[in-house]
Amino acid sequence: MTTLEGRHALITGAGRGIGAAIAERLADDGATVTVVGRSIATLKETAARLSSRVRANALVCDVTQPSEIAGVFDAARDAFGPISILVNNAGQAESASFLETTPDLWRRMLDVNLTGTFTCAQAALPDMLAAGGGRIVNVASTAGLRGYPYVAGYAAAKHGVVGLTRSLALEVAKRGITVNAVCPGYTDTDLVRESIARIVAKTGRTEAEALAALEKTNPQGRLVTPAEVADVVAWLCSDAASSITGQSIAVAGGEVM
One of 148, 150, 154, 186 is an active-site residue; which one?
154
pLDDT on residue 196: 87
- Cα–Cα distance between 18 and 69 in angstroms, integer? 20
Residue 153: alpha-carbon gap to chain centroid: 17
Low-confidence ranges of the chain (pLDDT < 50): 1
Domains observed in the chain: 8-185+225-250 (3.40.50.720), 186-223 (no CATH)
Closest CA to 58 of 29, 33, 81, 25: 33
Radius of gyration of the chain (CA): 18
pLDDT on residue 200: 87
pLDDT on residue 1: 45
Q: Is the pTM of this model over 0.85?
A: yes
Q: Are strands 85-88 and 134-139 parallel, antiparallel or unpaired?
A: parallel
pLDDT on residue 37: 96
Is the CA virtual torsion 125, 93, 139, 5 positive or negative? Answer: positive
Closest CA to 186 of 232, 221, 162: 221
Is 154 a catalytic site residue?
A: yes
